Structure 1
Amino acid sequence: MLTRIITGIIGIAIAAFVVQEGGAYFAGFALVLPLIAFFEFVQAFDGRGANLTLITGIIGLVLVWGCAWLGNSDELVAVSTGIALGILLETVFLHGRVRFLDACLSIAGVFYFGLPFAHIVMLRFLSEGQMLATPLGDFEFGCAMVWILFIGTWASDTFAYFTGSAIGSHKLAPSISPNKTIEGFLGSLVGTTAACAGLGVFFGFPVKEMAILGFALAIAATLGDLVESVAKRETRIKDSGRIIPGHGGVWDRFDSVLFTAPLVYYFVLLTDLMTK
């Protein structure tokens, strides 16, 4: 437990620095993390006899990240198409070594990790130059939204854990994640809604819209966690890796964020939050 706490404190400090600094620091971390998570994904399925296309997958992740970092979201569809078709062609050129199912799993891994982190990059650099006045000083708009993304996701996990531990008795998805309870999920809904409403007050956003975002975040975070749980059962692993002492792998720590990041990005665009 002590190792977990110490690692968590160090992780939060690094995250705070990277999120606040933005620029190349943030973009760099947003590339390294999905690369590590994809490697964990490949290792997990290798243990079940799959032969995923690691090198091509890494190239695909870099290309997806590059579109986000350069602000070329329109080119992302073209790049994604090229990645999918390129990996599928490996079943032809490396016939006998790369099976069709291996290629499909590889494509799924690239998009599963690459696209959400691309959305995180695009979210951080939304409306550059727009500043928000807060009690702790000015925040860039994109920086504020990334904090809402991470704090909202962490709040969902935290409220679900403590509520479930205290009063949880009805299983949410026993065949997928036996420890999750309906009570924990409801606690997550209430807690995350309140947390995001509070962040709305802090950053000067409409409280009602932030409360709606918090409610949606709790649902998305839970679904993201359950998706990784399904993958773990499929690959028969407990943790995706050991790179984060006491916390497992990058995939373990960001499974919920993979679902909440696109949600926050499109919520901002659909509600035109940048002008409010």
Structure 2
Amino acid sequence: MKGRVISTLILWGAVFGVILSNWLPGYYLLFNFISVVGLLEYYHFLRKEGARLAYGSAVLATVFMISGVIYFHQNHGEVAAWAWTGGVFTGLCLWVLCAAIWCAKDRSPLETVGGTLSGFIYVTWLSHFMVLVVFGIPQIAQAGTGGMYLLYLLLVTKLCDTGALLTGMALGKHKFFPRVSPKKTWEGLAGGVVVSVLASFLFAKYFHGTSLALITPTAAIGLGLVLAFASVIGDLAESFLKRGAHIKDSGNIIPGIGGMLDLIDSLLFTGPVLYFYLRFFAS
């Protein structure tokens, strides 16, 4: 528990430091570190099962994609950024397919292509929506308040996890999804949703008039509810993958917590939800 507390404080300190300083190189480092480490952990799942993967190419494509999304949104606009993203993904698909054909020998190319691209989609593609929350929405980018929306996303998502954990420990009796995650309970789920909705409402109520202009307190209630359920699904998805790989934690890079995927599993699902809400439904 001590290691978990220390790791949590260090992680939140780093995130707050980048957001409050609005340090652009810090965003490059933060988002690339999250995506690359998470991707390597996913590939570790598959390599335990004997899969041969083009992980070097996927890591390089991840750095190109994440860095390019930030650069193009900052300097050339939304259309150029999406064109870059599509180009990187298309290039990776073609390269991995060619590499699989060239190196297949006695192994199925579907293993290399499917395994490599599934990791890129699950980790890199989904995590890049956190980048878009900060840099990819014109109204937010012009106001320079993307960091606050990222902070909102992190707080609502992680407080859902924390609320579910504490409520489940105190009141949990009825198993929620024992086949995938035996420790989760319906009571914990309810507690996590309540905490997430409350955090969403209070954050929006306090910051709506300043740096959170696109999320009203009223809308924050419904948005918090949707983000809470997306968080739970993201957590279950990673638990399902770990169960398939017969491992408890995705890695050991974060003392007391585990791996990067253990930290961002729910964010991989809540990030796209928040981005699409802000881009197409908020006003």
- TM norm structure 2: 0.88
**Residue 164 of structure 1: how far off its partner (Å):** 1.2
- State which of 160, 169, 175 in structure 2 corresponds to 1:171: 175
How far apart, CA to CA, are the structure 1 residues paired with 2:276 and 2:84?
18
Residue equivalent to 1:153: 157
How far apart, CA to CA, are the structure 1 residues paired with 2:145 and 2:222?
19
Alpha-carbon contact 2:52-2:111 (below 8 Å) kept:
no
**Residue 211 of structure 1: how far off its partner (Å):** 1.1
Query: Where does structure 1 lack aligned partners over 5 or more consecutive residues?
Result: 131-139
Alpha-carbon contact 2:230-2:270 (below 8 Å) kept:
yes
How far apart, CA to CA, are the structure 1 residues paired with 2:109 and 2:102?
11
**Residue 64 of structure 1: how far off its partner (Å):** 2.2
Kindly report the root-mean-square deviation, in angstroms, between the aligned alpha carbons of the 2 structures: 1.6
- State which of 111, 114, 121 in structure 2 corresponds to 1:104: 114
- State which of 87, 93, 108 in structure 1 corresponds to 2:102: 93
Alpha-carbon contact 1:90-1:98 (below 8 Å) kept:
no
Amino acid at match of 1:269: R
Residue equivalent to 1:128: 141
**Residue 75 of structure 1: how far off its partner (Å):** 3.4
**Residue 98 of structure 1: how far off its partner (Å):** 6.5
Residue equivalent to 2:5: 5
**Residue 214 of structure 1: how far off its partner (Å):** 0.6
- State which of 82, 87, 100 in structure 2 corresponds to 1:78: 87
Residue equivalent to 2:251: 241
Amino acid at match of 1:42: Y
How far apart, CA to CA, are the structure 1 residues paired with 2:134 and 2:146?
4
Pairs aligned (count) = 264
Alpha-carbon contact 1:67-1:73 (below 8 Å) kept:
no
How far apart, CA to CA, are the structure 1 residues paired with 2:247 and 2:174?
25
How far apart, CA to CA, are the structure 2 residues paired with 1:63 and 1:110?
12
Query: Where does structure 2 lack aligned partners over 5 or more consecutive residues?
Result: 74-80, 209-214
**Residue 91 of structure 1: how far off its partner (Å):** 1.6
How far apart, CA to CA, are the structure 2 residues paired with 1:166 and 1:35?
36
How far apart, CA to CA, are the structure 2 residues paired with 1:115 and 1:43?
18
SS of corresponding position for 1:3: helix
Residue equivalent to 2:76: none
How far apart, CA to CA, are the structure 2 residues paired with 1:14 and 1:187?
28
How far apart, CA to CA, are the structure 2 residues paired with 1:51 and 1:14?
35
How far apart, CA to CA, are the structure 2 residues paired with 1:86 and 1:122?
26
How far apart, CA to CA, are the structure 2 residues paired with 1:172 and 1:87?
39
Q: In the TM superposition, what are the counterparts of 1:182-221 in structure 2 within 5 Å?
A: 182-204=186-208, 205-221=215-231
How far apart, CA to CA, are the structure 2 residues paired with 1:6 and 1:20?
21
Residue equivalent to 1:261: 271
Amino acid at match of 1:94: C
Residue equivalent to 1:18: 18
Amino acid at match of 1:235: A
